[in-house]
């Protein structure tokens, strides 16, 4: 192939009709070729999101998708009750044959510019060690490391946890404990009863019945709701089981509980009834029953960048595992 320059590429907003050329490139570049859920997962994230359809940009060479960048819609609420629109930087890829042309940077800065002009507030994400330097060069700032909390089911789980320092499986393990969240949150009254106990302070996700219904609806993730009693107004936790090495962990993505005692009891029940090795969550949001993970540098590193608004200070962010996992 002749030597290319950025001028040889067409850069523009991506549209749904680009999917037939974009998705094969994503599968190849991100090594998702054997994942039967991948296309449906993208559709769930980017087209069904209760906060709105994702914004995306594509790089094309002679009609072939060679780069892709999408920013998923999100919405926060601050301490004054003001809603802040946001996007999360996710799902970026450059075809291996087109590395070195600055496609990642070009697409990302194009997105930042256009979203700033349309009034979106901030962008945030939890980039890995490989991609973080590129984001920092484009104006992102490190906010803080999000502290992880865990609860081992018993002392025997501790050495298993130590041996399982590998990424968790994306798709969940099956369990019959609790209720299927995808069904439970189709009942608006059920969701509203639990949301009485959603975080009310700090810079937090704008949790609505529509958000909970979407967030837990993708089948292969198998989210479950465990209630404190038959009355959802008395609180509950949302969780899923995922395999990590030799262990099964219970990922506590939301604690919607009236007090810490209820939260701790529910986390303990999740472990007891599912037989998971340990529970895990973030301690920046409601995290009763979870103790700090005594591992230096553990937890995702949160970064952010201003668009049309300024991100809050590091101490204001109040995120749960449900806000940052998967995406």
Q: What pLDDT does residue 112 have? A: 97
CA 3 to chain centre: 38
Q: Give CA–CA dist 20/33, Å, rounded.
A: 14
Q: Give CA–CA dist 251/242, Å, rounded.
A: 7
Mean residue pLDDT of the chain comes to: 95
Q: Give CA–CA dist 111/72, Å, rounded.
A: 11
pTM listed for this prediction: 0.94
Contacts of residue 240, defined as CB under 8 A and 6 or more positions apart, other chains included, come to: 172, 221, 222, 223, 224, 250, 251, 253
Contacts of residue 155, defined as CB under 8 A and 6 or more positions apart, other chains included, come to: none
Three-class DSSP labels, the chain? CCCCCHHHCEEEECCHHHHHHHHHHHHHHCCCCCCCCHHHHHHHHHCCCCCCCCEEEEEEECCEEEEEEEEEEEEEECCCCCEEEEEEEEEEEECHHHCCCCHHHHHHHHHHHHHHHCCCCEEEECCCCCCHHHHHHCCCEEEEECCEEEEECCCCHHHHHHHCCCCCCCCCECCCCCEEHHHHCCCHHHHHHHHCCCCCCCEEECCCHHHHHHHCCCHHHCCEEEECCCCHHHCEEEEEEEEECCEEEEEEEEEECCCHHHHHHHHHHHHHHHCCCEEEEECCCCCCCCEECCCCCCCCEEEEEECCCCCCCHHHECCCHHHHCCC
- Reply yes or no on whether the pLDDT at 296 is more than 90: no
Q: What pLDDT does residue 1 have? A: 53
Q: What does the pLDDT look like over 36-86, one tens digit per residue?
A: 999 999 999 999 999 999 999 999 999 999 999 999 999 999 999 999 999
Q: What does the pLDDT look like over 122-141, one tens digit per residue?
A: 999 999 999 999 999 999 99
CB 13 within 8 A of CB 57: yes
Q: Give CA–CA dist 190/233, Å, rounded.
A: 8
CB 57 within 8 A of CB 41: no
Q: Give CA–CA dist 235/214, Å, rounded.
A: 20
- Reply yes or no on whether the pLDDT at 2 is more than 70: no
The CA angle 181-217-168, to the nearest 5 degrees, is 85
**Confidence band for 297, pLDDT divided at 50, 70 and 90:** confident
The arithmetic mean of pLDDT across residues 88-102, rounded, is: 94
Q: What pLDDT does residue 90 have? A: 94
């Amino acid at each position: 192939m002749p030597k290319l320059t950025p001028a040889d590429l067409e850069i523009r907003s991506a549209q749904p009709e680009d999917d037939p050329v974009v998705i094969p490139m994503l599968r190849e570049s991100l090594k998702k070729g054997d994942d039967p859920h991948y296309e449906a997962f993208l559709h769930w994230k980017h087209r069904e999101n209760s906060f709105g359809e994702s914004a995306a940009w594509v790089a094309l060479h002679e009609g072939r998708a060679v780069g892709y960048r999408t920013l998923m819609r999100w919405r926060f609420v601050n301490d004054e009750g003001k809603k802040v629109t946001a996007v999360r930087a996710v799902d970026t890829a450059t075809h291996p044959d087109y590395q070195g042309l600055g496609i990642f940077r070009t697409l990302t800065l194009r997105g930042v510019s256009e979203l700033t002009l349309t009034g979106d507030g901030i962008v945030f994400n939890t980039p890995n060690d490989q991609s973080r330097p590129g984001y920092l060069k484009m104006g992102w700032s490190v906010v803080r490391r999000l502290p992880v909390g865990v609860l081992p089911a018993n002392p025997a789980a501790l050495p298993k946890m130590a041996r399982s320092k590998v990424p968790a499986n994306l798709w969940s393990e099956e369990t019959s404990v609790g209720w299927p969240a995808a069904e439970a949150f189709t009942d608006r009254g059920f969701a509203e009863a639990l949301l009485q106990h959603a975080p009310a302070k700090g810079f937090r996700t704008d949790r609505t019945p529509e958000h909970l219904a979407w967030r837990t609806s993708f089948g292969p993730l198998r989210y479950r709701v465990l209630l404190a009693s038959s009355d959802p107004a008395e609180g509950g936790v949302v969780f899923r089981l995922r395999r990590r090495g030799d262990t099964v962990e219970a990922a506590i993505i939301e604690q919607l509980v009236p007090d810490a005692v209820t939260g701790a009891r529910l986390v303990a029940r999740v472990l007891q009834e599912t037989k998971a090795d340990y529970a895990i969550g973030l301690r920046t949001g409601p995290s009763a029953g979870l103790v700090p993970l005594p591992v230096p540098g553990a937890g995702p590193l949160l970064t952010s960048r201003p668009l049309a608004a300024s991100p809050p200070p590091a101490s204001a962010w109040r995120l749960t595992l449900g806000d940052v996992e998967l995406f």
